[in-house]
Chain A
Amino acid sequence: MSLKLRPGEQLALIGYSGSGKSTLAQCIAQLYRYTDGSVLIDGHEVSELSKRDVVRNLGMVAQSPYIFDGTIKENLVYSCEAALDREGDHPEPLPTLDEMIEILQQVGLFVDVLRFGLHAVVGASEETQLVERLIRVRGNFQTEFGKDLADLVEFFNEQEYLEFSNAASNLIFGNPNQAEFQPDQLPRNPYFLEFLDQAQLKKPLLNLGRELATQTVDILGDVPPDQVFFEQSPISANEFETYKELIGRIERSRIHQVAPEDQDLLLRLALRFTPGIHKMVVLPDVLRQLLLDGRMLFREKISRDLPDAFSFYRMSNYIHSQTILDNILFGKPKTDHPKSQDRINMSIIQLLIEEDLLERIVEIGMEFRVGTKGDRLSGGQQQKLAIARIFLKNPPVLVMDEATSALDNASQTRIQNLLESKWKGRSTLIAVAHRLDTIKNYDQVAVMKAGKIMEIGSYAELMTRKGILYELVSGIKAA
């Protein structure tokens, strides 16, 4: 085979699987050592190029990109760091935040990274200025969108019982700063249990727990431990057997006769009861009022005894144990419907822009750790990240091996448009294409079969020639 590309030209490699497209791409990228023939870049034999030359001049996006356990940002600048001369007196500078954000927007990863940022936690020791501004966004969110989004968000209100928060949160109305007051520790925390007794809450909560367990077991009966069945249940899939047995044990007992460890289970259930989600039981009015009164009593008591144990929800207090999004919402979403989530997100983005915080949140999002081999990212996000990394490096020669195969149609089109508008004439591109509708505007199309180039030329030429490309394209159309 033989082919030649001028600087800035774009070549699409197509053909059946096993025809050698990827192998050719990998030879060009020095990933395969070839024994015969010649691959020249700017007159230099690829096999004789130093690692350094390859790294500086060539960018490769592989089918399954290499994403390592680090942050988005580390993964993003990885290729640049390798390519730039970072040693010596005048190290070449890494890309700026603006450049990185521009690339994220171009490859369609911006909103994802923004979401990572919104779900990040800002620790108590960091960034007082950011925290102040986020509290301002919280205030604006309620003034500007509070009324409009009232059907989607239940805002924290000290005077009211929160239907979309659980009983423990309603009682405490704040966030624990100490391990022994974490939600899962409360049912066994002696201080908290003593308080429940004093506030006459223990018995009604145990009764509530029993009713929740009875009803849930009655409804779910013999369902398998499939998550779908437990989304609206206070009992989780892996606890279900325990509660089934518990109901059998205590069916005929009065609540004060129930063994302490079983009481613990009932209390646990009652404390996580959330009326807006768990619809099998009604929260009795008496208990609702007791919990609301208990909110004041608990705050008085603990402020006296252990003043640092909790940070209480106040409009002016940032909640450091919760995400940025939770802090702005300062309430709970009433539904998990994607359309509703979108409406909430759009409002928040608008406010972040007004407060000039959007880029700061994206910057925080870039600190998101992607997990081993990027397993906390979707396949599409991994590919977008790999493409962004290469675009950021901006090499003279780009090799893309089915680099957009995991992307949805809109994202593929976006990347394709970008290649045509931004990179044509700037970097020489060799792309192994997996879809024939993306190749029309390439300067050259090479059709491969059994390790040979069967035909090569522009898309229009090959279509007029009515050869293999024509057959492939019309075959797909016919099918």
Chain B
Amino acid sequence: MNSSVESKQPSEYQDTLQILMEIPFFAGLPLEALKLIAYFCRRETFKPGEFLFREDEVDPSAYYVLSGTGTLLLEQAPAPLQTISEGRFIGGLSLLGDMKRLFSLRAEQQLVCIVLTREKFRKTLDQFPNIIHKIMETVAAEVYQWEKGCLHQYDLSCAGGKMSIGVSLL
């Protein structure tokens, strides 16, 4: 990198690059690939009440929340499931394959996000095919950790509880 650049205010691209390095989904990828991903990322602002994505919608994008908060919800039962806030990364799986959203995400306060689309992510994969191995390892580890963390919360005395286990056996 050019030494004269480092002393100046970082560009949006450089800022994004720093952030990507700290997101588990991307961390550990070679710098060349991360640079291209950072370059492909765009920033989007969502007004309060605006949806980033909705249930049943195909939305091939991943989001990293830079500022603001949002609510994850099921539209049939509009009680909020989770509050999504600064530093949260959502939608990594959508970069890998087609799936309709199971939840809706609505901005509560003005929400500023870094957005990466699957089209751009695929272009990066075409350039650096080897990074898929690293990403698969990360996804496998996340799924494993997820179920491990949840295991003691399942109610294994009922049929429903027994049915819900096993995502790590996928």
Which residues from chain A sit less than 8 Å from chain B, CB to CB?
A: 151, 211, 214-215, 218-223, 226, 228-229, 232, 279-282, 284
Contact = CB atoms under 8 A, between A and B. Distances in A.
A211 B36 contact: no
Given A232-B39, A232-B40, A279 B127 contact: no
B2 interface: yes
A282 B36 contact: no
Nearest to B127: A223
A219 B123 contact: no
B45 A282 contact: no
Nearest to A207: B4
B19 to A, nearest CB: 13
Contacts of B14: 280
Interface string B30-48: 0010011011100001010
Interface stretch (B5-13, B72-80, B87-95, B139-147): B5-13
B101 interface: no
Given A211-B4, A215-B2, 8 more contacts: A215-B5, A219-B13, A219-B38, A219-B39, A221-B35, A226-B123, A280-B39, A284-B8
A301 B72 CA distance: 57
Most buried by B among A214, A221, A232, A282: A282
Interface of chain A, main secondary structure: loop
Interface in B114-133: 119-120, 123, 127
B170 interface: no
Give the contact-size bracket for chain B. Answer: 20 to 34
B169 interface: no
B163 interface: no
B35 A219 contact: yes
A67 B26 CA distance: 51
Interface in B46-62: 47
A280 B11 contact: yes
A229 B123 contact: yes
Contacts of A215: 2, 5, 11, 13
Contacts of B123: 226, 228-229
Contacts of B12: 279, 282
Most buried by B among A218, A220, A226, A280: A280
Contacts of B4: 211
B1 interface: yes
Nearest to B11: A282
Contacts of B119: 228
A221 B32 CA distance: 8
Given A226-B123, A280-B39, A218 B11 contact: no
A279 B45 contact: no
Contact of B10 (A211, A218, A282, A284): A282
Contacts of A226: 123
A232 B115 CA distance: 14
Contacts of A223: 36, 127
16 contacts: A211-B5, A215-B13, A218-B35, A219-B35, A219-B36, A219-B38, A220-B36, A223-B36, A226-B123, A228-B120, A279-B12, A280-B13, A280-B14, A280-B39, A282-B8, A282-B11
